[in-house]
Homo-oligomer: A and B are copies of this chain.
């Protein structure tokens, strides 16, 4: 199933993404760069392959390395934000025009990114009415993302009795994304944390007509805004 081959852009996207970890990956919960090993893991390449690319990214001025953590330079961050933005608009194209489910859009969007130039993505955005969120709730403009982060937390960090609204779904794991959508855990859903069982590593939640237990791992991928 040849998991295709990755360009500089894919690595930058991964590094950008990993700069704001949550649980194992992703934004909000705690912050700071992740080692190259996480990048390798995320892109399903081996350590030497990632190592080689890191060397190149540094040589070309996209990252700096103090210790073992890759730090995006201005250039690298701009490039990464461009790629992320394109990715999110393409996801909206896949859902809004092509009729794919959000989870499916995620699977196709990376490959499409290589085919669309920036100019084409701008046209897409125009035709789609300038959407401001990707199907999973992330802001199309990554700079808004960081502002918004302050108001959000992972569901895993909501105390018992807390009420919250799902704003974004972690995208790093396609299977987890499917799992969310299969259960109606989508942006906009209001959810109540009935009980927290850290020993069991799970939370009991209620939303709509459903009551269920969610593992801490899964709850780490649901980013919510607490009800006032």
Contacts and interface: CB of A to CB of B under 8 A. Distances in A.
A98 B112 CA distance: 15
Contact of A120 (B98, B114, B124): B98
Contacts of A124: 98
A115 B111 contact: yes
Given A114-B115, A115-B111, A115-B114, A99 B123 contact: yes
Q: How many copies does the complex hold?
A: 2
Contacts of A123: 98-99
A112 B116 CA distance: 7
Chain A interface main SS type: helix
A56 interface: no
Interface in A53-94: none
Contact of A127 (B97, B115, B116): B97
A40 to B, nearest CB: 25
Contacts of A99: 123, 127
Contacts of A112: 115
A220 B181 CA distance: 55
A46 to B, nearest CB: 24
A108 interface: yes
A124 B108 CA distance: 14
Nearest to A111: B115
Interface string A111-148: 11011100010011001000000000000000000000
Contacts of A120: 98, 108
A97 B97 contact: yes
Nearest to A99: B123
Contacts of A98: 120, 123-124, 127
Given A97-B127, A99-B127, A108-B120, 6 more contacts: A97-B97, A98-B123, A98-B124, A112-B115, A114-B115, A115-B116
15 contacts: A97-B97, A97-B127, A98-B120, A98-B123, A98-B124, A98-B127, A99-B123, A99-B127, A108-B120, A111-B115, A112-B115, A114-B114, A114-B115, A115-B115, A115-B116
